[in-house]
Structure 1
Amino acid sequence: MFIYKRRVKFYETDGMQVVHHANYLRYFEEARVEYLREGKLDLTELMDEGIVFPIVEVDVKYHQSARYDEVLLIKTYLRKVDRARLVFEYEVVSEKSGALLTTGHTVNTYTDMHTGRIVRLPKEKLTALIDLSKGDRE
């Protein structure tokens, strides 16, 4: 598990200072990118090689609302990792209360940016990420 910590910004909320539902997808993305960075998978390097990393599936369940200025912990789990795709699960939790606010998952594939076809990454590019995420799959 990787934990990404962030504070809710005012512009992410509606008139009642509740986080707009679409922002949770952004929180998932921020946490996912930091997880990959921790696992030594550099998205900029992949893009330089012509490989992009689109989401092909997303699911979100809202349990409770996050509010302006609340500190959130986005717990991120890499449930499946192979040379063609990654499956992440997320739990958004209030740091102060410990309440579970939102859960979700995403599926990403590695895709050639010019052809749109799925590509397989060399196993050595995934070694650190596999090691980092081992506990997420046990």
Structure 2
Amino acid sequence: MRKYETEIRVIYADTDAMGIVYHTNYIKWFEAGRNEYLRQIGYPYSRLEEEGVWLPVAAVNCEYKAPARYDDILLIQTGVAEMKAATVIIKYEIYNKETGELLVTGNSKHAITDPQLKPIRLKKVNPDLFERIMSDI
């Protein structure tokens, strides 16, 4: 699986009263990684929408290994773990860039649909995007 990287700096508003990153922010950063992955393969969400392809989230899993704190620079590694006819699973790992410590792992499962949320086969509807994703697995 090829991994794409995105950097995020933790801002003060991302932390809780204990001074560590509030747990739901990692899900937001998964989305940031996913957005940048799509952009890097030439298909930002705006292009997907123009071409009638939606990727609604069907499930998200997140496992916390160690906390991040204010002002840490995080490295989000994103890649496609699995592609089926009308679903895709994207995998994430978030590291502390300075120390290299693995902080969080997770994945998100996405349906591949048209704008009416009807499942579509990406290979048939958009073979170029399908091939770009498959070449990264």
TM-score between both structures, scaled by the size of structure 2: 0.87
Select which of 62, 74, 77 maps to 1:75.
77
Instruction: Give the alignment of 1:32-111 within 5 angstroms.
Output: 32-111=34-113
Task: State the alpha-carbon separation in 2 of the partners of residues 39 and 93 from structure 1.
Answer: 22
Give 2:118's aligned residue. 117
Task: State the alpha-carbon separation in 2 of the partners of residues 60 and 125 from structure 1.
Answer: 27
State whether structure 2 residue 130 is matched by structure 1 residue 126.
yes
2:11 maps to amino acid: K
Select which of 2, 10, 16 maps to 1:8.
10
Task: State the alpha-carbon separation in 2 of the partners of residues 83 and 45 from structure 1.
Answer: 20
Task: State the alpha-carbon separation in 1 of the partners of residues 8 and 47 from structure 2.
Answer: 25
Task: State the alpha-carbon separation in 1 of the partners of residues 77 and 129 from structure 2.
Answer: 24
Residues matched between the structures, number? 132
Shift of residue 16, structure 1, vs aligned partner = 2.3
Q: Once the two structures are aligned, what percentage of the paired residues are identical?
A: 32
Structure 1 residues 124 and 82 mapped into 2: Cα distance closer, same or farther (>3 Å)? farther
2:105 maps to amino acid: T
Query: Following TM superposition, where does structure 1 have runs of at least 4 consecutive aligned residues deviating by more than 4 angstroms?
Result: none
TM-score between both structures, scaled by the size of structure 1: 0.86
The worse-fitting range, judged by mean Cα deviation, of 37-46 and 5-14 is: 37-46
Shift of residue 113, structure 1, vs aligned partner = 2.4
Shift of residue 83, structure 1, vs aligned partner = 4.8
Task: State the alpha-carbon separation in 2 of the partners of residues 49 and 39 from structure 1.
Answer: 15
Give 1:21's aligned residue. 23
Structure 1 gap segments, 5+ residues each? none
Structure 2 gap segments, 5+ residues each? none
Q: Conserved in 2, the CA contact under 8 Å of 1:72 and 1:92? A: yes
Q: Deviations over 1:27-58 (max 9, x none)?
A: 10000111111112232122234432111111
1:127 maps to amino acid: E
Shift of residue 130, structure 1, vs aligned partner = 2.8
